[in-house]
Amino acid sequence: MKEDNTNIILKKVKILHVEDIDFNRELIELYLEDQNIELKEANNGNKALKILADFIPDLILMDIQMPELNGYETAKIIRTTENLKNIPIIALTANATTEEIKKYKHVFNAYLTKPIDEELLLETMAKYLRS
């Protein structure tokens, strides 16, 4: 029997979720609704960068394939921005092939594949949010 770890409770944190598909944003929002989280959302990399001008999150959840500015390019910009470069970025992707992970591992701290598992999401987030 699988142990239920959905009782993970995160401390008060700020999260930016960048995802172009409404359903996927709503699903993550549902997964995080019982957590002590200030959640901001963007549907592409350009909007994420605008949000990051005024909002410094503790962690970023980033889709890779998005219109306008994809997650990889957005993460590269974040990594070269002094006040943002150390924020953990977790890639949420349907295409986490071995080649993709090797190519992108220098900008993302972790990868989660879609469909996103709630328990794994919370465990991964907790790993990067421990104080």
Encoding tokens for residue 86? 């150390």
Q: Specify whether the backbone of 17 is left (phi greater than 0), alpha (psi in -120 to 50) or beta.
A: beta
The domain locations on the chain are 21-129
Which of these, 76, 85, 129, lies nearest to 107 by C-alpha position?
A: 76
pLDDT mean for each 10 residues of the chain (131 residues): 51 93 96 92 98 97 93 96 96 80 85 92 92 51
Strand partners for 12: none
Which pLDDT does position 74 carry in this prediction? 97
Which pLDDT does position 119 carry in this prediction? 93
Q: What's the CATH number of domain 21-129, 3.40.50.12160, 2.60.120.10, 3.40.50.300, 3.40.50.2300?
A: 3.40.50.2300
